[in-house]
Structure 1
Amino acid sequence: MTLKESLMTIKDFRIDRCKKHNLCDILMIVLIGYLTGCKDFEEIHFTAEIWEERLKKYLVLPNGIPSADTILRVLAGIDGKELERVLAVYAWETFGSQIPEKEIIAIDGKTIKRSAYTNHNDESKSHKAAHVVSAFASSMEICFGQVKTEEKSNEITAIPELLDLLEIKGLIVTIDAMGCQKKIAEKIIEKKADYLFSLKGNQEKIHEDVKDFFNHELDEKYRQRYKIQSLSCEVEKDHCRIEKRDYYLCTNLKWLAEKDEWKNLGAVGMVRSHRMTNGSESTEFRYFITSLKDVRLAAKAMRSHWSIENNLHWVLDTVFDEDYCRVRKIHNASWRCVVAQNLNIIRKLVMNLLKGIELLVSTKKKNLTIGNKQTLCSQNEKCLLYALQQL
């Protein structure tokens, strides 16, 4: 099923006599707007008007291009759950067969900052910022799904819902300390995947036990007794920083009182990061639990988890201006959050599309960024039409 066909399955909430534009056309126009680098509804509308004759080859457009206000009202009325389903189905059908063995699926939340609304005269009309939890394939740099939550503290209940959308058999799921929960571990194992969870204060008992365990001198005798594997990564140099990471993984868990409370718990681990920046030195310790029993896989999973911050959240903010989108100008609190969440899904659909295609143009620049591809789509008709054909 193509993306356009998936969008056509979304239920139209509008009254029949009020439908001047096809729902799928409106959503496709928003997608095209982001393909060409638009930042707000006015730009999306203006770009669509410029490309109207060409767009008629792919869209119905019975009454021309919808206004910016019409686009806004439609995005405020669509059920976000249906868009989330479209994202998951499209990502899996397009990229599912390309997922490498033991791919890292990083799960993390992001708050869309400017989607909050505060009414100082009537607090009941205020609304917290929209928050979404995403699943991101680290090496592929593809978002395979997301669910929305009311706030960050609700990630614990959102993660199982997100896992239900995903095909993760044979993959490794990484989650930060917020999602370090026994039921989430059980769900991941039920879906025949592995997990790696960061440890912090929200799991105080096991966090302190693992921390105390690795505070011992890690000499040869101690390592052999508890079957501790170790791995030192190469020194990295970045922005005047020299960093060395040492990974330790303990697979003998007889000493751990909570070992049977976590489904298929295979090991506990520690990462020691030693940094030197402009002559100043610092050492940081991080701890985790995992169903993995290989230190190399655990180290890869621990390191790869941060790809969701660098290659998804950062791109949404810097390339798509998500936190500065003019959705903040909507003064209806509930509309603001719904539109922000739905736009977040559409941006991820566009990111996946642009990540997955190589535009057919002659250019000296290789490995084009998403921003480069957006520029090509806005400036080169062949590039835009090729991207549209992939939809």
Structure 2
Amino acid sequence: MGRLLARLDGDTVDDAVGAWLARRATDPVDEPDRLTGLAVDGKTVRGSRTDGHAVHLLAATLHGSQTVIAQRQVAAKSNEIPAFAPLLEHLDLRGVVVTADAMHTQREHAHHIIAAGGRYLLVVKGNQKKLRKQIKRLPWSEIQCLAAPPQPATADARSAGSRCAPSRPACVSRPARPRRRPSTPSPASALSKQAPPVWANSSRTTGRWKPCTTCAT
């Protein structure tokens, strides 16, 4: 059995298992135009270090079910960037929003996702100054913002409401809470605030306890 597994192509096995998991994780009653989140992230396998190198895997995980539907091993003398496109090559990205960290904020990655019919949400850090300036110049004030819907009170209502969530991305803003002006406590109100009771023994003969209250200053 060990020799048989050693002769198998790991990437082919990952593709087959990932496709099966993707079919199992798909909800057949979901709306066809509803967006699905797919996180791309890499992790080093614990205890896999041999000859000074550890196995590093790049995986694609569904946001909703935390199911890994694709996986690729990163070359020992490389990083996650060359493994990004092969990881998503056999996935249907229509109606999928791919999320990744700043390492994958690359033109080639964005073009690959758009060409496959998907969308992306990537992180832009300070080392990409030109891109950050371009983002700041976008007309953010013209983006329509929607108020956040109220949260249902019960778990059953939240579960039912999750299927009615808007499928189009929107800028969600919450109404600002009014600021309360600090009030100066009066001497009477300060004296009215009492500390928790401190229990003290009232009599050595009876052995009873009584609360001794002290005022907070």
TM-score (norm 1): 0.34
- Residue 129 (1) aligns with residue 54 (2): yes
* Residues 177 and 197, structure 1, Cα contact 8 Å, conserved in 2: yes
Shift of 1:231: 7.0
- Superposed, 1:276-291 pairs within 5 Å as none
> CA contact under 8 A between 1:105 and 1:172: conserved in structure 2?
yes
Distance 1:173 1:206, change over 3 A: same
Confirm or deny that 1:192 pairs with 2:117: yes
Q: CA deviation at 1:142?
A: 1.5
**Equivalent residue of 1:145, what SS?**
strand
Q: Which residue of 2 aligns with 1:109?
A: 42
Distance 1:140 1:152, change over 3 A: farther
Match of 2:17 among 81, 87, 100: 87
Deviation, structure 1 residue 107: 0.7
Structure 2: state its 5+ residue gaps: 151-167, 173-217
Q: How does 1:116-265 map to 2 (within 5 A)?
A: 116-117=49-50, 126-151=51-76, 154-207=79-132, 210=135, 224=141, 226-227=142-143, 229=145
What's the secondary structure of 1:82's corresponding residue? Answer: helix
Offset from partner CA, 1:87-141 (integer Å, 9 cap, x none): 2221234334549421101111111142122xxxxxxxx2421111111111122
SS of the counterpart of 2:68? strand
Asked if 1 retains the 8 angstrom alpha-carbon contact of 2:37 and 2:96, the reply is yes
Provide structure 1 residue ranges, at least 5 long, that are not aligned to the other structure: 1-25, 27-70, 118-125, 215-221, 235-291, 297-391
How many residues were matched structurally?
152
Letter in 2 for 1:175: A
SS at match of 1:115: coil
Q: Is the 8 A contact 2:146 2:170 kept in 1?
A: no
Assess, with a 3 A threshold, how the Cα gap between structure 1 residues 95 and 201 changes in structure 2: closer, same or farther: same
CA distance in 2, matches of 1:133, 1:74: 25
- Cα deviation per residue 1:50-108 (whole Å; 9 max; x = unaligned)? xxxxxxxxxxxxxxxxxxxxx4x554443212211222221234334549421101111
Give the distance between the partners of 2:20 and 2:145, measured in 1 at CA.
Answer: 40
2:58 partner letter: V
- Decide which of 288, 295, 302 is 2:171's aligned counterpart: 295
Q: Say if 2:144 and 2:171, in contact at 8 Å, map to a contact too.
A: no
Distance 2:36 2:53 in 1: 34
Q: Residue 195 and residue 77 in structure 1: after superposition, are their counterparts in 2 closer, same or farther (change >3 A)?
A: same
Q: Which residue of 2 aligns with 1:40?
A: none
How far did 1:161 drift? 0.6
2:132 and 2:147 mapped to 1: Cα distance? 21
Amino acid at match of 2:116: K
Q: Is the 8 A contact 2:100 2:123 kept in 1?
A: yes
Closer, same or farther: CA 139–97 of 1 in aligned 2, 3 Å: closer
The residue type paired with residue 37 of structure 2 is I
SS at match of 1:174: strand
* Matching residue's letter, 1:148: Q
Alpha-carbon spacing, 1:151–1:78, altered in 2? closer, same or farther (3 Å): same
Identify if the C-alpha distance between structure 1 residues 115 and 196 changes in structure 2 by more than 3 Å, giving closer, same or farther.
same
Looking at structure 1, the residues matched to 77 and 110 of structure 2 have their Cα atoms a distance apart, in angstroms, of: 19
Amino acid in the other structure paired with 1:82 = T
Percent identity between the two aligned chains? 27
CA RMSD of aligned residues (A): 3.3
Report the TM-score, using the length of structure 2 for normalisation: 0.58
Greater relative contact order: 1 or 2 (C-alpha under 8 angstroms, separation 6 or more)?
Answer: 1
Letter in 2 for 1:138: H
Q: Distance in 1 between matches of 2:69 and 2:24?
A: 10
Equivalent position SS for 1:199:
coil
Q: Secondary structure at the match of 2:80?
A: helix
How far apart are 1:192 and its partner, in Å? 1.2
Q: For 2:78 and 2:133, locate their aligned partners in 1 and report how far apart those are by CA, in whole Å.
A: 22
